[in-house]
């Protein structure tokens, strides 16, 4: 199964791993602690403080993103080899790195780009292995399928590291890129 599909499918879920070893499983229907019948509930004083809520990491409403170009490319932790591949991909559609805005989320962290839809200054958003849910855009995307929302065209692709040695993914990306930049 495709990793990006699974990331999209379970992006907001907590997943638990249940051990396969069943020898040490406890029966959950049997209480772990048994209450003695000698203790009468009305004589027991509760001294437990109410639980304090765990701190929640807040995601900023938006990052200050002022587009210099009409194309935004999202990546996560891009290295030099992947940067060269990106340059070749952009060159195939008559673009250069300096003609697009490149946002590396490993340097910015999980943020929100909800404001890009209201600014109307961006025409295309291409993401390489980064789910839009990470930037607080709840727009489901299918790999290599173009989707337009509020005048912005979106294209999701596998991460550059996954594409570089996979001919099938390169062909799918090339087909989508021709239509995306037509």
Point out the least confidently predicted range of 81-85, 120-124, 164-168: 120-124
Q: Whole-angstrom Cα distance, residue 155 to residue 172?
A: 12
Claim: this prediction has a pTM higher than 0.75: no
DSSP helix/strand/coil, 95: coil
Residues 6+ apart with CB under 8 A from 158: 2, 3, 4, 128, 129, 143, 166, 169, 173
pLDDT tens, position by position, 126-151: 999 988 888 888 888 899 999 998 88
pLDDT tens, position by position, 10-47: 666 666 556 666 555 555 444 444 444 554 555 545 55
Of the chain, the percentage scoring pLDDT greater than 90 comes to 35
Q: Whole-angstrom Cα distance, residue 69 to residue 82?
A: 21
Give me the chain's average pLDDT, please. 76
Q: Whole-angstrom Cα distance, residue 55 to residue 152?
A: 35
Q: Which position has the higher pLDDT, 174 or 52? A: 174
């Amino acid at each position: 199964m495709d990793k990006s599909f699974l990331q999209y499918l379970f992006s907001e879920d907590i997943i638990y791993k249940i051990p396969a070893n069943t020898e040490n499983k406890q029966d959950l229907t049997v209480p772990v602690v048994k209450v003695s019948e000698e203790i009468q509930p009305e004589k027991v004083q509760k001294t437990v403080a109410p639980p304090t809520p765990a701190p929640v990491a807040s995601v900023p409403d938006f990052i200050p993103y002022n587009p210099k170009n009409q194309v935004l490319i999202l990546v996560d932790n891009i290295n030099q080899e992947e940067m060269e591949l990106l340059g070749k991909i952009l060159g195939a559609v008559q673009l250069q790195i300096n003609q697009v805005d490149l946002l590396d989320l490993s340097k910015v962290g999980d943020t929100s780009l909800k404001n890009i839809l209201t600014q109307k200054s961006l025409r295309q958003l291409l993401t390489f292995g980064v789910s839009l849910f990470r930037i607080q855009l709840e727009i489901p995307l299918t790999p290599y399928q173009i989707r337009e929302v509020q005048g912005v065209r979106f294209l999701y692709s596998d991460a550059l590291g996954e594409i570089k040695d996979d001919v099938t993914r390169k062909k799918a990306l090339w087909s989508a890129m021709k239509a995306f930049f037509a």
